[in-house]
Amino acid sequence: MKGNNSFDAENSLKNPIIDEKAVSLDNSYILKMCGNSSGKVAVALSDSTCEIYSFDNSSLKKLDKLTDPIKGICDIRFSRQNDSTLYIGSSDGGIRMWDTRSGNSCSTTYEEDPQTRESVKPLISFDISCNDRVLCGGTEVVQNDAFMLFWDIRSKSLLGGYWNSHTDDIMQVQFSSQQPNKVVSGGVDGLINVFDISEQTEDDALQYSLSTECAVDIINWISDDVVSCITQNIDVQFWNVDSADQINTFTREDIAKAAQNINVEDCYIVDVYNTKENIPFLVTGSYADERKGLKLLQVTDDGLVLKSNLDSNKQIVRCSWYDRESELLVSGGEMGILSLWKSFGLNTNAKSKTDSSLLMGMKKLKVHKNKPY
């Protein structure tokens, strides 16, 4: 079925905001965000603190705050199987575990043994396997190498690492939500690497190395075999990581045009998500002072279609979280405001461009590397 190419203002909610909270009174930014299926969202602030909120169809409610400051927070993640456990990564090379049932301080730190490492490897990103067994962190370049480090969550021990697959900072690592041994990484070197970490060496673990031809910024799993990639050129690519095929790409110009009334230079992308009907959509915004509203662009077989205007947005958005079951969107940004939105208008019958039957042939790049630790 062909998607509707025009935005239906009469059928769109003019003000789909449900609730919003000012998370800080000292002009702190909301830098990072994560959520879980239990209706919780955690935010990392520029003042080096973290807060946890609950959300539902009517409100946002503050639940807890981690008062011990953690400088250089790079990312945060809830445990995949325990909604009381939050992991916080930082540029000092450590990932801290916060058990929200036992107070507001971190109980465990995962890091390299300071007696054996030659230098600190500052983390930029990290993620947790779907079975809650392995942590993986991606680092800045250290002495000409960028590292992927792995920890056993239960024993707290460093399992090892890869350092030959990226030549520049590793901006994102993402485990599959279905396969605990499958992880993808994206770097400033323009590569998306696909690994099976059950293999014994980095050489065997690396399944594909996909060239985006631009520095990678954000990666998301869209389905069991498809990932989205936002590049630092502000375009979006979709890749099948089982076949190394690029499915589709949308340039910054494509996105600005679909968003309507946004200059290309002002256009930015917050993130890419997938509805429970498996229809990907983009959360986009504008840097223009007079037009900070967010827009939701759905991926259809006709391209990008404007599906919702979130005109009540007051800030440049740094991060967001989408809950597929409740179909609610949470956003946060540079004014320290946490906003809860209805994702109105997304669930049509438009066919997704990530349908495997629409794959375009691309060259498969099999890269061989040396073994890790």
Residue 118 parent element (H or E): none
pLDDT of residue 293: 82
In contact, 195 and 208? CB cutoff 8 Å: no
Backbone phi and psi for residue 11, each to the nearest 5 degrees, phi listed first = -100, 0
β-partners of residue 185 are: 173, 193
User: Which residues in the chain show pLDDT less than 50?
Assistant: 1-13, 350, 352-373
Q: What is the pLDDT of residue 66?
A: 83
Which pLDDT belongs to residue 348?
A: 52
Backbone CA torsion sign across 309, 285, 184, 305: positive
Under 8 Å CB-to-CB from 137, ≥6 apart: which residues?
A: 89, 95, 123, 125, 126, 147, 148, 149, 151, 173
3-state secondary structure the chain: CCCCCCCCHHHCCCCCEEEEEECCCCCCCEEEEEECCCCEEEEEECCCCEEEEEECCCCEEEEEEECCCCCCEEEEEECCCCCCEEEEEECCCCEEEEEHHHCCCCCEEECCCCCCCCCCCCEEEEEECCCCCEEEEEEEEECCEEEEEEEECCCCCEEEEECCCCCCCEEEEEECCCCCCEEEEEECCCEEEEEECCCCCHHHHEEEEEECCCCEEEEEECCCCEEEEEECCCCEEEEECCCCEEEEEECHHHHHHHHCCCCHHHEEEEEEEECCCCCEEEEEEECCCCCCCEEEEEEECCEEEEEEEECCCCCCEEEEEEECCCCEEEEEECCCEEEEEECCCCCCCCCCCCCHHHCCCCCCCCCCCCCCC
Instruction: Enter the tokens of residue 206.
Output: 């690396």
Evaluate the CA torsion angle 249, 301, 263, 294 in order and state its sign. Answer: negative
Contact 49, 357 (CB under 8 A): no
Q: Are 40 and 63 in contact (CB under 8 A)?
A: yes
Q: What is the total residue count of the chain?
A: 373
What is the DSSP pairing of strand 191-196 with strand 267-274?
A: unpaired
Give CA angle at 122 (121, 123), nearest 5°: 110
Q: Say how far apart CA 233 and CA 235 lie, in whole Å.
A: 6
Tokens 């502000």 belong to residue: 234
Q: What are the start-end ranges of the H helices in the chain?
A: 202-205, 252-259
What does the radius of gyration of the chain's CA atoms come to, in whole angstroms?
20
* pLDDT value for 14: 56
pLDDT at site 25:
72
Tokens of 149: 């480090």
Q: Where are the domains of the chain?
A: 1-16+262-356
Q: How far apart are CA 43 and CA 76, in angstroms?
A: 8
Q: Are the C-beta atoms of 106 and 95 separated by less than 8 Å? A: no
